[in-house]
Structure 1
Amino acid sequence: MNTATRSSGIVSRLFPALTEPALRRYLGGQVASVLGSWTQNVTLNLLVYHLSGSAAILALLNFLLYGPQLVVAPIAGSRIRSGNARRVTLFMLTVSLVLTGSLITLSALGVLGVKLILAHALAIGVSSAVEVPARQVLLLTSLRDASLTSNAVAMNTMVYNVGRMVGPTIAGFVYPTLGPGASFAIYALALCFMAACVRSIRLSGAARPSRADSSLRDAVGYVLSDAFSARYLPILACIGLFAASYQTLVPLLADKAFHDAARFTGVFFACAGAGSLSSAVLLSSALGPRASARFIAWAPWSAIAALMVLAITDAAAASMPAFFMLGFSLTFAATSTNATIQRQCPEHVRGGLVGMYGMAYNGTMPFGYLLVGTVSEALGVRHTFAAMAVVLAVGVVCIVAWQRFKE
């Protein structure tokens, strides 16, 4: 008992947000949900490629899955408040379950073709764009101790990154052995578990009701008036466009530069995932808020440096730490920006700001994938990495200079 108590005390000191019962329930469901979501989305990619053999259709699929974050997330988020976040989350989980059930049925009947998959992808993308801000508002308003906001956001990011690393592995095993229907069924079970966890969460008594007239205009007005948001949300959009889109180039780099696509694609993604997970663990810990405040301004520049290394090196031994640093920097910038904004903002604009964060980062990435893929065909892989670094550096400098000029 004493050993268990000491272990619990150490974990609580290292990751203080885990002292919150609501967060533990939420993260339990989130682990299952994220794993299931990545399993389903990767399965859809594999299925579309098997049916079409077209890289263009694959790009369209991923645009439909993630593109709605750009438009839908800020609009939906502006209508989500602490009072309705739990209800909206449960409703969107139900919608996701219906869509997954449809995929299971169509797959079992043998009629799941490319057009039906793309239609479902659009519906899944819209559903996710509404659900993500609802989930985050639910998470933040269920905390009893508001000072743990940064740690809670980082813990949520850590869970997402674990899911991003493990989910594709599950899909890679289940799809060829059991078929796409089994992957969809895994996500359906995960959604049910997440719904049960959400139903068990009770909002903190300290949570205050939002203003009834809160809107996207309120959130935009807050961003324009808040120095931190006005600087780092545009920087995050540049990072989403010109750095996070590196994933499109990884298989090309592995094939053309290192002549072993299968081996080095996995290695490079693993290095980036390890960096991302390391960043999330740091920000989830008791050191997180201090590290975020001290180093957030350097995160874009470390990403730029990593992109430049990838542009000029011919050695795998140099590329692997560069991918690690890139993954670390992207997660550090995104999580620190989101956590700082959520910790400082008034309650009535929180949902809208969650949506604007999703628009700035997740919403720009699909356009970055298309842009980087097109440029790489014209310039080549290494020159594209260099162009990404240069354009991102110019963007960051212009944003900082403009803000200082306005001051």
Structure 2
Amino acid sequence: MRLPGLLHALHAPRYRRYFAGQAVSILGTWLQTVAMSWLVYRLTGSATLLGTTAFLAQSPQLLVSPLAGPLIDRWDKRRMFLIVQSGMVTQAVILAGLTASGLLVPWHLILLAGVFGLFNAVDVPLRQSMLAGLVDDRAMLRNAIALNASLFNGARFVGPPLAGAILAATSEAVCFGLNALSFLAVALAVASLPAQPASGPSSGLLTALRDGLRFAITSLPIRRLLLGVAALNATGSAFMVLMPVVAKDVFSGTVETLGWLLGASGAGALVGTLLVASRKNTCQLVRLIVLGWCLAAGNLALLAGTGWLSLAMLASLGIGMGITAVNVSTNALLQSLAPDSLRGRVMSSFTALRFGMDAVGGLMAGWLTHQFGVSPVLAAEAALVTAGTLWMWSRSASIRQGAKP
């Protein structure tokens, strides 16, 4: 993995500006994510409420993202992006103000998690769809996707420990306020870029939505890639929701313990992203998807069974690496398979399943943990991901044959 090859997309000036702004924005989002999960569990001690807030923050992806896809294809992406960022700044400012004033109660957290989820359901596929317009040629696109994912996963590595340190020294309100400021960085970067006019047809919303769904369903490799990402995120990704319970109940830890566990997952995710960036063809990406499933299954079993913090951090690292390798490889394959006129709709389907099923899995994991405890739930996740690994391995040959080289 030579460094110039890994950073190839940064030769494009537009992508370089966007990359810098997004680096700050995603770090701020992780500060808010960790602070909110800790605040919910600190105030209520309820794993069910922890799962509920995580569900509301991500579940709009299931319904809103598919509807956003046709709009993304038909509107100026830059203008749409700036509108969405304004809404996300407002949400973070309100959350910071309520927390700092001492007026915050649990229903505020539930409502604001839902508001964040609505904006995020548009923001994620919109950011994905903008990438093709920021690079100089299609050869850079796969690298740009991987670098974009590396920002998210680098923030997963840095953000949770940083959030733990900030929370230990100050309060949750500071994390929420810093997140509000971070949105301004990416908004300023995108405001300096040229407009990205509509690339899709001017047909009606329902017609455009139907055309996108038909394409995703009738294309064999796209259909199987989407099914795989839905299954993994409904089962394996739910471990993230349970991390405050693992930190506090299994290891009798503090918010700093949570930060280290989540940071280990982020370190693994960053490695998984770099593995995707170094892949040179479709066959290697499909193999990496199968390997990612294997890593997630084995390390979920380790996390379920260990009572040692060091092994739990190692397991968290392995889970993060495996799940990220699957998600980012799937993202890169879908973007290469989708035509320009349908890319927004295909990526909104990916976003809906990637984050929406994550939300459903987190909600179920929170409820089941309340009933049976965290270790049995993690063990059940490991068993389900193992079954999914066998399914994906049996379908990998057909995905390779149907995908473009």
Q: Same fold (TM over 0.5)?
A: yes
Match of 2:202 among 207, 212, 216: 212
User: How far apart, CA to CA, are the structure 2 residues paired with 1:310 and 1:47?
Assistant: 24
Would you say the 8 A contact 2:293–2:388 is kept in 1? no
AA aligned to 1:241 is A
Please say if 1:29 is aligned against 2:21.
yes
**Aligned positions of 1:174-189 closer than 5 A:** 174-189=166-181
Match of 2:285 among 284, 288, 292: 292
Please say if 1:326 is aligned against 2:316.
no
Where does the alignment leave 5 or more consecutive residues of structure 1 unmatched? 1-9
Q: Map Cα deviations across residues 238-262 of structure 1 (whole Å, 9 max, x no partner).
A: 10011111224445556776x5545
TM-score by length of 2: 0.85
User: How far apart, CA to CA, are the structure 2 residues paired with 1:21 and 1:55?
Assistant: 45
Please say if 1:390 is aligned against 2:380.
no
**Aligned positions of 1:2-401 closer than 5 A:** 11-81=3-73, 83-107=75-99, 109-202=101-194, 209-213=199-203, 215-250=208-243, 259=251, 261-262=253-254, 268-285=261-278, 287=280, 291-311=284-304, 320-376=313-369, 380-395=373-388, 397=390
> Please, which moves more after superposition, 213-222 or 88-97?
213-222
Would you say the 8 A contact 2:288–2:326 is kept in 1? no
Distance change (3 Å), C-alpha of 1:14 and 1:161: closer
AA aligned to 1:24 is R
AA aligned to 1:86 is R
> Please, which moves more after superposition, 304-313 or 239-248?
304-313
AA aligned to 1:211 is P
AA aligned to 1:65 is A
What's the secondary structure of 1:237's corresponding residue? helix
Would you say the 8 A contact 2:272–2:321 is kept in 1? yes
AA aligned to 2:332 is A
User: How far apart, CA to CA, are the structure 1 residues paired with 2:313 and 2:161?
Assistant: 20
User: How far apart, CA to CA, are the structure 1 residues paired with 2:37 and 2:7?
Assistant: 35
Distance change (3 Å), C-alpha of 1:288 and 1:164: farther
> Please, which moves more after superposition, 330-339 or 117-126?
117-126
> Please, which moves more after superposition, 195-204 or 24-33?
195-204
Give the number of equivalent residue pairs: 394
User: How far apart, CA to CA, are the structure 2 residues paired with 1:55 and 1:283?
Assistant: 34
AA aligned to 2:299 is A
> Please, which moves more after superposition, 27-36 or 12-21?
12-21
TM-score by length of 1: 0.84
Higher-Rg structure is: 1
> Please, which moves more after superposition, 219-228 or 95-104?
95-104
What's the secondary structure of 1:211's corresponding residue? coil
Q: Map Cα deviations across residues 112-156 of structure 1 (whole Å, 9 max, x no partner).
A: 333233222211110111111112211222222112221111111
User: How far apart, CA to CA, are the structure 1 residues paired with 2:48 and 2:363?
Assistant: 10
AA aligned to 2:211 is D
Where does the alignment leave 5 or more consecutive residues of structure 2 unmatched? none
> Offset at 1:366?
1.9
